[in-house]
Structure 1
Amino acid sequence: MEHSEYLNPGSEPALGNAAEDVIIYPPKYRKPEEKRTNVWLKSATSLLLYLVLGYYIFKSFNMLLLITAIVVFHELGHFFAMKTFRYKDLGIFFIPLLGAYVSGSKREVSQRESAIILLAGPVPGMIIGFLVYYLYHRDPSLEFGGISLYTISISLIFLNLINLLPVYPLDGGQLLNRVFLDESGLISRFFVLLSIALMTWFALFGLGTPIYPLLLFPAMMLFRLFGDNKLNAVEKKIEEEGFNLDLSYNELPDEDYWKIRNILVTDYGPLKDLEPAPPFEFSPKEDKVMAIIESLLHRKLIQDLSWTGKTIVLLAWLFFLASPWLLQMDLEFFRRFGF
């Protein structure tokens, strides 16, 4: 009966008794359990920062709470939809002055599930906005928390309507990219670049006066795009070396982890300050190494929407985009923003 021992990180490779030395690779890196529980602490911290900087902008605590409540309700729609479809490592994170997003991971991503998740954020908020707008017309004097129902309804509708626009990374843009485009193809890349250009134009000229904080979104997207290009070159080299990237992180062999890690350390700029293995030592950047390797492993996009299904999604999307006009709402507020 053969027996082998795994090396602890930091030890030298074991030598086999055969003619050639045999390296027995230690287990790949896994996040410590306590780091997973920090997700909600980070969410709370980002929310606090969001509120502090938001108050600096709005100067009205009631209005700040309204906007924050709308954002939270929107993100909870995404969150519970993702939870229903068994996404892992879920968390809600707030970006001061810009909004929030839900993070989560899943090996196999379905077009149908993606459409539901992306629409689960803006659609419920818009429906509630329409109901509040109806109540306002029944009694224009009604208020909630010192804010008129008209302001509440328009805020609900407008903020969620913005998210339905076909601009990446808004919900509408992600819907278009994932359901109707090949999200890893050339057309998708052009669409992302076009979205960056549109957001840059809007931040500088869309409201008549530059809103410089809005430039953060296109800047982050451009930075990520350049990073993806560098990573794509490394991914190509890894595949040329014969590694199978059609795996989940749990399925990735320990040996492949350390060998892919060595390629990253050698060829990927942000990790070039790390030492290649052996010795098999986890660095303080190992969380980042793990995240990069996870991003290299091919996610499976299940094409489970027929043309009929895509047509239904498209019609629902267009309906909610056009709903304020279809319902003949008072659009004076919208016209201030060029709608």
Structure 2
Amino acid sequence: MLFIPLMGAFVQGFKNNYSQKESFIVTGAGPFPGVLVGVALVIASAEVESPWMMTLGLLFLLLNIINLLPLDPLDGGQMFKMFLRKQHELFLMIFAFLSSILMIAAGLWLQHGDSYILILFGFLMGFRVRAMQKKYQMHKDLVQEEVNYSTTYKLLSNKDYNKIKAVVLEHTPALRKFIDQVSVDESGPVLASQVNNVLVTPMKLDAGIFFKICLLILWIGSFLSPFLLFYLVDLTWYLPK
């Protein structure tokens, strides 16, 4: 696990199941400390009237509060999805679609030189929504086939593997065409990867009500922190007259 300042955590590896509480902690390990650092810098800079420290503190606040917005794929969006226990695929797909629309709308509304980045990012998220839609449809087909896709690849039976493979090929004509043109040795790893992508790793729902309430308070407090600082800290020396 690697924590990247202002960007959250980068985690590599595979597990047989995930802890909901652990996922919350890992996701929030970037933005929440970033907000606290920003608050500390703003307060400290007000004491010594240091413009560069104030600018740095405000930058920390801005970047991390944006990251906490409940938009996919920001950390705030990831936490929002975890509150839903990652079970409502249709809702999450709509949520991702609305996030992409908001990104595009924000870019068009800003009409700034760099706003095209938001627009581009929104369109890229739209492609992700298409992938989610495809996966959602495959999961619906697997439910009809009475296949449990909430498992890991290692625990997958040969029978379920073959059923999932058939569904994947049905929904991916390009893959089916590719498989017909290559040998079994070449197609095997590709099919295994595609089947694995359809699976949903089980999550241990160990985040209790008290933990979630504390997280929500911290989340809301992060959004309110700039307003509280503006009210409690003397910023007249920094603000333009």
> Fold conserved (TM > 0.5)?
yes
Aligned runs of 1:95-244 on 2, under 5 Å?
105-141=14-50, 148-180=52-84, 183-206=87-110, 211-244=115-148
Q: Distance in 1 between matches of 2:149 and 2:158?
A: 13
Q: Which runs of 5+ in 2 are unaligned?
A: none
Match of 2:9 in 1: 78
Relative contact order higher in (CA < 8 Å, ≥ 6 apart): 2
Higher mean C-alpha displacement, 265-274 vs 237-246: 237-246
Deviation string, structure 1 residues 205-253 (Cα, Å, up to 9, x no partner): 1366671121232222211221222233334444544544233112224
Q: 2:217 aligns with which of 311, 315, 321?
A: 315
Match of 1:327 in 2: 229
Q: Distance in 2 between matches of 1:72 and 1:298?
A: 26
**Cα gap change, 1:220/1:297 in structure 2, threshold over 3 Å: closer, same or farther?**
same
CA-atom RMSD, angstroms? 3.3
More helix by share: 2
Supply the AA of the counterpart residue of 2:5.
F
Supply the AA of the counterpart residue of 2:171.
D
How far apart are 1:322 and its partner, in Å?
1.0
Task: Determine which structure has more spread, i.e. the larger CA radius of gyration.
Answer: 1
The answer (yes or no) to whether the contact 1:132–1:152 under 8 Å persists in 2 is yes
Q: Distance in 1 between matches of 2:6 and 2:48?
A: 26
Same amino acid, percent of matched pairs: 28
The answer (yes or no) to whether the contact 2:93–2:133 under 8 Å persists in 1 is no
Is 1:302–2:204 an aligned residue pair?
A: yes
2:207 counterpart SS class:
coil
Aligned runs of 1:279-298 on 2, under 5 Å?
280-283=184-187, 286-287=189-190, 289-298=191-200
Aligned residues: 233
Deviation string, structure 1 residues 52-106 (Cα, Å, up to 9, x no partner): xxxxxxxxxxxxxxxxxxx93134x524xx5xxxxxxx1xxxxxxxxxxxxx544
Match of 1:66 in 2: none
The answer (yes or no) to whether the contact 1:181–1:187 under 8 Å persists in 2 is no
Aligned runs of 1:34-113 on 2, under 5 Å?
72-75=4-7, 77-79=8-10, 90=12, 105-113=14-22
Q: Distance in 1 between matches of 2:85 and 2:163?
A: 34
The answer (yes or no) to whether the contact 2:31–2:64 under 8 Å persists in 1 is yes
Q: Distance in 1 between matches of 2:170 and 2:181?
A: 11
**Cα gap change, 1:191/1:231 in structure 2, threshold over 3 Å: closer, same or farther?**
closer
Q: Distance in 1 between matches of 2:112 and 2:184?
A: 57
How far apart are 1:169 and its partner, in Å?
1.6
Supply the AA of the counterpart residue of 1:218.
G
Match of 1:248 in 2: 152
Q: Distance in 1 between matches of 2:113 and 2:182?
A: 56
TM-score, normalization by structure 2: 0.79
TM-score, normalization by structure 1: 0.58
Q: Distance in 1 between matches of 2:85 and 2:42?
A: 35
Q: Distance in 1 between matches of 2:15 and 2:199?
A: 12
Supply the AA of the counterpart residue of 1:78.
A
Q: Which runs of 5+ in 1 are unaligned?
A: 1-70, 83-89, 91-103, 143-147, 334-339
Q: Distance in 2 between matches of 1:212 and 1:251?
A: 45
Deviation string, structure 1 residues 118-154 (Cα, Å, up to 9, x no partner): 2111111222222222332233357xxxxx2222222
